[in-house]
A and B are shown apart, each in its own frame.
Chain A
Amino acid sequence: MAAAAAGSGTPREEEGPGGEAVAPPPQAPTGAPGARLSRLPLARVKALVKADPDVTLAGQEAIFILARAAELFVETIAKDAYCCAQQGKRKTLQRRDLDNAIEAVDEFAFLEGTLD
């Protein structure tokens, strides 16, 4: 925990004008990769949860688990997309790799049509 946080001193995530956030200090890993605490800002997760009009309350643990699940999702989809790029012998992931991964992997079916 930084004793003197940059800027306002409030240790929250803050955003620059371009939407690029000053990333909050990463939580110290507590051992196994699964046990690492969340990198995604919990406040943003809460905002997403609140966006659902049917949801009235969400416990702190639920918010944390959602954040961690989203991280795992990003890792998973990035790796799956990379497999497509590798087949094309490229070292840079492109949009078509992501589209191919979404089409190929059943679990990503819910994304179809949502990213355009």
Chain B
Amino acid sequence: MTESPEDLNFPNAVVTRIIKEALLDGVNISKEPRSAISRAASVFMLSATYWANNFAMKGKRKPLNASDVLSAMEEMEFQRFITLLKDALEAYKREKKGKKEASEQKKRDKGKKTDSEEPDKSRDEDTDEDEERLEEEQNEDEEVDN
């Protein structure tokens, strides 16, 4: 069951922002090439997924992992991305670890809180709930299951 390519495009606003930041100030891009670049990004991603999956299957693994994607980049001759992607992965892991530890710490703190009134915490709690919801969503989305 294939979805039409339009459904799999990235939001125009985000693509435009990425393009504008890559180019110098004063450089514009008209609508047609911008949407073509957006489609190209989707094709790129489908291609990268295909190759990453190949590597996963070769390794007799089911879930695609980060190294499969890096191998795909090499296969597609985008070696120049690999260092940046490795850095990004490290930062992502650190960020996730930090968030997880912070939310676990807050949960422990909530458990400890007894009689002390802390009106200022209410704002933090709202933020916490948002973060926890995001965390839960992220945790639910651990693996993409077909």
Chain B residue numbers with a CB within 8 Å of A31 are: 91
The answer to whether A60 and B138 have CB atoms under 8 Å apart is yes
The answer to whether B14 and A21 have CB atoms under 8 Å apart is yes
The answer to whether B33 and A95 have CB atoms under 8 Å apart is yes
Q: A3-B130, A20-B12, A115-B40 are in contact. Are A93 and B64 (CB under 8 A)?
A: no
> Interface residue count for A (Cβ, 8 Å)?
78
Interface of B is mostly: helix
The answer to whether B77 and A106 have CB atoms under 8 Å apart is yes
The answer to whether A93 and B91 have CB atoms under 8 Å apart is no
Q: How far is the CA of A55 from the CA of B54 in the complex (A)?
A: 9
Kindly identify which residue among B26, B32, B45 contacts A48, using a CB–CB cutoff of 8 Å. B45
The answer to whether A59 and B66 have CB atoms under 8 Å apart is yes
Chain B positions near chain A (C-beta within 8 angstroms): 1-3, 7-15, 17-19, 21-24, 26-30, 32-34, 36-50, 52-53, 57, 62-66, 68-70, 73, 76-78, 80-81, 83-95, 123, 126-127, 130-131, 133-134, 137-138, 141-146
The 16 listed contacts between A and B (C-beta, < 8 Å) are A21-B14, A34-B86, A34-B87, A40-B10, A41-B10, A44-B11, A53-B146, A54-B50, A56-B62, A56-B146, A60-B138, A65-B69, A65-B89, A71-B18, A73-B78, A107-B78
The 5 A-B residue pairs with the shortest CB-CB distance, nearest first, are: A21-B11, A34-B84, A34-B87, A35-B91, A57-B63
